[in-house]
Amino acid sequence: EVQLVESGGGLVKPGGSLRLSCAASGFTFSNYNINWVRQAPGKGLEWVSSISSRSSYIYYADSVKGRFTISRDNAENSLYLQMNSLRAEDTAVYYCARGMDGSGSGMDVWGQGTTVTVSS
Partner 1 sequence: SYVLTQPPSVSVAPGQTARITCGGNNIGSKSVHWYQQKPGQAPVLVVYDDSDRPSGIPERFSGSNSGNTATLTISRVEAGDEADYYCQVWDTSSDHHFVFGTGTKVTVL
Interface residues toward partner 1, by CB under 8 A: 35, 37, 44-47, 50, 57, 59, 61-62, 95, 97, 100, 103-108, 110-113
- Residue 34 to residues 12, 49, 79, 98, 105: CA-CA distances in angstroms? 25, 9, 8, 5, 10
Q: 78, 4 in Cβ contact below 8 A?
A: no
**Nearest residue (CB) to partner 1, 80 versus 94:** 94
**Nearest residue (CB) to partner 1, 66 versus 104:** 104
Residues 6 or more apart whose CB falls under 8 angstroms from that of 59 comprise 49, 50
φ/ψ of 30, rounded to 5, equals -70, -5
Strand-pairing partners, residue 6, are: 22
**Nearest residue (CB) to partner 1, 57 versus 76:** 57
Instruction: Give the separation between CA 38 and CA 64, rounded to whole angstroms.
Output: 11
**Nearest residue (CB) to partner 1, 17 versus 103:** 103
